[in-house]
Amino acid sequence: MASPAPFASAPAADLLTDVTAPAAAPPLTPAKSAPAPTPAGRYDRSIIDGPLPRAVWKLAWPTMLTNIIGGLQGLVDHIMVGHFVGFKGNAAIGVAFQIFIVVIVFIMSLFTGMSVLVARFAGAGEVEKVDRTVYQAFLTAIGISILIMAPVGYFLAPHLLDLVNAAPAVKEEALPFLRIMFMFSSGMMVFFMLGGALRSAGDARTPMMLGIAMTVLNIALNVVLIRGLGPIPAFGTKGAAMGTCIASALVALFSLWKLWHGGWVVSFPRHHGFAPDWTIIKSLFKYGLPTGIQGIAMNIGGVFMLSFIGSLAQSAAAQAAFTVSYSQLFSFVTWTSVGLLGAAAAVAGQNLGAGKPDRANQAVHIAARIGLAGAAFLGIFYFFFPRQLLAIFGLNEPEVVEIGTQLLRVLSVSGLFITVALSYTGGLQGTGDTRSPLYISIVSQVMVPLGICFFIRQFGHLDAIDIWIAILVGHMTRCALSVLRFNQGKWRNIAVDIDP
């Protein structure tokens, strides 16, 4: 939610300018004869030919379930750390993971670029281009994570924790967690890369099964490593990071074996060599970099928001309430919404690749309606049962419960806006317009909420409820701008290809 200098003064009206490819650019797949059949029916053609609600739901529900089940590992981390270490351990994991996401999101932006290309090429039936794109995305992500993120993250970790005003007790728990996550994140990168590739090509069930396997492994490892078992000592918060890295590495190794031997809807190519293809890598950055900047901006904003929270009189209690309420409980909204974002992106991208822009448009509206219903259902629990939800994580201290209850009730409304915003973000990104969500996020998730908090602190007294309201206003702004931008229809003229 923080604003990088180049965009700090961008007016809201700039979001309505055309940031896509020039209108004169020819579409990748204009209306023409149907694409050639793919080998062995590799791709699911019902996405571009069948009923749209079924196509959206077919891709959305496995991703939703994957995210919810995968989120259990975070819940297990927080529940066990809350009981065995205390709420300072909860705050440590929340602060450390917020920082980790700021860095890792840049690498994951490559997967957005990959997903744009894979969806288009799968919709057009171009198998070879799909496989070449997947391999180059894998190669680039691994190189960056090992050669850049691991060493740089390790040495910068203490300074990053100082940036968010982590209390000494919180920093002591967070530093080893953060360093482990930086050093051993390659397996997680492969998992996220593969999941994005499979879903964009029309297969959401395989990443669901891989996600379930990784979560089961993670939970089993966390139970042992956080609390200790037999000769294995209790590692506390370090054990949570160790379990995540080991589980993701095991799943990644299996995934690489499958990509090499074939059998999935995507695989590694066999006829183009294994050296980096700079034409494809350039395309990955072209479509993925705006998403990376968007993610970095939003998560740096999250770090600054944590800094505002850390400046409160009840900072430790507020950080614990924020970590559990926003990062964990509200994640049930974001997990399902991200599933719809991915489904909207894949269905819209494939239909645009097949020369069917009207179907792409309808798919995004359908995804938004599904998300709105789900967020309304979850909001009932946030509003009416906040104390019971907080108690699951061992948060029983009166000041933590009071602050957490305020936040959950605000989030019960906020979820309605963020789920719609994410569905339309998926529509924009899936069709190749990755710049508009960048500008929208900088305004709505950076300038608006941080501006509100700064103004109140400068001219009054900043309380926790002021920060929660600022988050709500940011989500409302993002929703309005995302819907408006998508409905302008500029994405219909975006050309996508990887040929020189």
pLDDT digits (tens, 9 = 90+) for 386-423: 999 999 888 888 888 999 999 999 999 999 999 999 99
Question: What pLDDT, on the 0 to 100 scale, is given for residue 270?
Answer: 78
Whether 11 shows a pLDDT value over 70: the answer reads: no
Residues 263-298 have pLDDT tens digits of 899 999 877 778 898 889 888 888 888 988 887 788
| Helix, strand, or coil (residue 229) | strand
Phi, psi of 424 (to 5 degrees): -75, -30
Name the residue among 3, 24, 248 with its Cα closest to residue 145.
248
pLDDT number for residue 4: 32
For position 296, what pLDDT does the model report?
77
Nearest alpha-carbon partner for 319 in 161, 123, 92, 66: 92
How distant, in Å, are the alpha carbons of 110, 239, 279, 430, 460 from that of 320?
Answer: 32, 19, 46, 35, 24
Residue 151 binned pLDDT confidence (cut-offs 50, 70, 90): very high
Q: Output the pLDDT for position 381.
A: 95
Ramachandran angles phi, psi of 229, nearest 5°: -160, 120
Assign 73 a pLDDT band (cuts: 50, 70, 90).
low
Average pLDDT, integer, range 230-247: 87
Mean pLDDT value across residues 132-154? 89
Please answer whether residues 48 and 360 qualify as being in contact, where contact means their C-beta atoms are separated by less than 8 angstroms: no
Segment 343-358 shows an average pLDDT of: 93
**Residue 315 vs residue 31, higher pLDDT:** 315
**pLDDT at residue 5 greater than cutoff 50:** no
Which range among 149-153, 173-177, 269-273, 455-459 shows the weakest confidence by mean pLDDT? 269-273
Helix axes 278-310, 315-324, angle to 10 degrees: 140
Q: Which of 191, 193, 16 is nearest to 113 (CA)?
A: 193
> pLDDT tens across 79-117, in order?
777 766 667 677 777 778 777 876 777 777 778 889 999
Give Cβ neighbours of residue 182 (< 8 Å, ≥ 6 apart).
100, 103, 149, 150, 153, 154, 157
Angle at 291 between CA 289 and CA 293, to 5 degrees: 70
Question: Does pLDDT of 10 surpass 60?
Answer: no
Q: Using alpha carbons, select from 38, 55, 39 the residue that is nearest to residue 356.
A: 55
Say what the pLDDT of residue 481 is.
97
Q: Specify the higher pLDDT residue, 368 or 303.
A: 368
Rg of the chain on CA atoms, in Å: 22
Q: Which residue in 64, 95, 98, 67 sits closest to 81, CA to CA?
A: 95
Separation of CA 28 from chain center:
27
**pLDDT tier at 27, thresholds 50, 70, 90:** very low
d(CA 62, CA 57): 9
Give 119's pLDDT tier (boundaries 50, 70, 90): very high
| Mean model confidence pLDDT for the chain | 83
Structure-block tokens of residue 368: 């938004």
pLDDT at 85: 67
- Greatest alpha-carbon pair distance for the chain in Å reads 68
Is residue 2 within 8 Å of 326, Cβ to Cβ?
A: no
Contact assessment for residue 30 and residue 469, using Cβ atoms and an 8 Å cutoff: no
Please, which pLDDT band fits residue 15 given cuts at 50, 70 and 90? very low
436-446 mean pLDDT:
93
Identify the residue whose tokens are 């890792």. 104
First and final C-alpha spacing in the chain: 36
Tell me which of 39 and 371 has the higher pLDDT: 371
Is pLDDT of 500 > 60?
no
The predicted structure's pLDDT at residue 365: 96
Q: Band of the pLDDT at 22, cuts 50, 70, 90?
A: very low
* β-sheet bridge partners, residue 232: 229
The DSSP letter of residue 296 is: H
- Encoded tokens for 75: 């819940």
Cβ pair 23, 493 in contact under 8 A = yes
**What DSSP assignment string belongs to 89-114?**
HHHHHHHHHHHHHHHHHHHHHHHHHH
Can you give the pLDDT at residue 230? Answer: 81
pLDDT at 319 over 90: no
Rounded to the nearest 5°, which phi and psi values hold at 232?
-85, 120
pLDDT above 60 for 34: no
Q: Please state the rounded mean pLDDT for residues 142-159.
A: 88
DSSP code of residue 33: S
Distance between CA atoms of residues 106 and 289, nearest Å: 8
Query: pLDDT by residue (tens digit) across 186-212?
Result: 998 899 899 889 999 999 999 999 988
Confidence band of 77 (pLDDT split at 50, 70, 90): low
In degrees and rounded to multiples of 5, residue 400 shows phi and psi of: -70, -45
Which residue did the predictor score with more confidence, 75 or 390? 390
Any idea what DSSP says for residue 489? -
Tell me, what's the pLDDT at 78? 67
Q: What is the pLDDT of residues 239-272, one digit of tens each?
A: 888 988 999 999 999 999 999 988 899 999 877 7
**Residue 71's pLDDT is what?**
66
Residues 6 or more apart from 483 whose CB is under 8 A from it? Answer: 368, 420, 421, 424
- Single out the residue of 12, 241, 43, 55 nearest to residue 124, CA to CA: 43
The DSSP secondary-structure symbol of 12 reads: G
Q: Return the bridge partners of 229, or none.
A: 232
Of 240, 142, 245, 144, give the one whose Cα is nearest residue 188: 245
**pLDDT > 70 fraction of the chain, expressed in percent and rounded:** 88
Contact 497, 128 (CB under 8 A): no
Q: Return the pLDDT at 227.
A: 82
pLDDT of residue 91: 77
For 30, the 3-state DSSP assignment is coil
Nearest 5°: the CA angle 421, 425, 427 is 120
Q: Angle, nearest 10°, between helix axes 315-324 and 87-123?
A: 40
> What angle do the packed helices 150-163 and 87-123 form, to 10 degrees?
130
Do 235 and 218 meet the contact criterion of CB atoms below 8 Å apart?
A: no
pLDDT higher than threshold 70 for residue 20? no
Look up the pTM and report it.
0.77
In this prediction, residue 84 carries a pLDDT of 67
